[in-house]
Amino acid sequence: AEHWAWQPVASPVVPEVADPAWSRSAIDRFLQQRLDAAKLAPASAADKPTLLRRIYFDLTGLPPTPADVDAFVDDTSPDAFERVVDRLLAAPAFGERWARHWLDLMRYAETRGHEFDFIIPNAFEYRDYVIRALNADVPYDTFVAEHLAGDLITPPRLHPNSGGNESILGTGFWHLGEAVHSPVDIRKDETDRVDNAVDVLSKTFLAMTVSCARCHDHKLDPISQREYYSLWAVFAGLKRGDRDLDAAESARLTAERV
């Protein structure tokens, strides 16, 4: 219980440093404190082309064009860098770059793996949902709620163009993951799939591993086997189902056919 991970979030006191003029923000003070303790000096400031290249790769994963570099070097206004950052944050490539990291946590793939590597139907819908959510700056608490129970959110968040149900797409991650196409032990296959759901949920949303308690009370973290199977019981009832993302549009098309 004394481990740092279990302590409540607190606002630390900003440290005093030997050269406060170097710091541009409170965060810099913490960095400078560690540098001072190690008797190290900060690196010199990057030149403008280097700075631009770093922020491009960081936010979009793509390099700036020569024209981008020339424009930034020639821009002497005090907010030149801030405007570049705002422009990159608003670019579609921002969501495409950072969605990759989230999709890794969700073990995203468009096939099941194993011997015949069956395709997961409509997996791309979840991928595109994550990209749109990041580009729309959807609040994290909303993003989490859509993943855990997006099918129950009323009213749902809607697609900016089609008006379809965005919230329900978050639940698509439950259906991802490796699956055996013809298990010998069906019961074991079922328990393994549920365990995978518990593992992904706990690592992603709790930042800890709960699956160790599948076999015994966790030896390092305060998670009991009883608590693990309480979670397991919730997810054991998950069933794959198809949902209409745009009921109004479907109803209109049906009416036209009739």
Encode pLDDT of 1-44 as tens digits.
777 777 888 899 999 998 888 998 999 999 999 999 999 999 89
pLDDT score, position 55? 97
Residue 148 near residue 142 (C-beta atoms within 8 A)? no
pTM score: 0.84
**What are the backbone angles phi and psi of residue 14, rounded to the nearest 5°?**
-70, 125
Q: Please determine, for residue 251, whether its predicted confidence score (pLDDT) is greater than 70.
A: no
Of 170, 189, 188, nearest to 179 (Cα)? 189
Question: In angstroms, rounded to a whole number, what is the distance separating the alpha carbons of residues 148 and 82?
Answer: 35
Q: What is the pLDDT of residues 146-166, one digit of tens each?
A: 999 998 999 999 888 888 899
Q: Please determine, for residue 249, whether its predicted confidence score (pLDDT) is greater than 60.
A: no
Q: Please determine, for residue 91, whether its predicted confidence score (pLDDT) is greater than 70.
A: yes
Please compute the mean of the pLDDT values over residues 238-257 and round it to a whole number: 68
Please compute the mean of the pLDDT values over residues 98-115 and round it to a whole number: 92
Averaged confidence pLDDT in the chain: 89
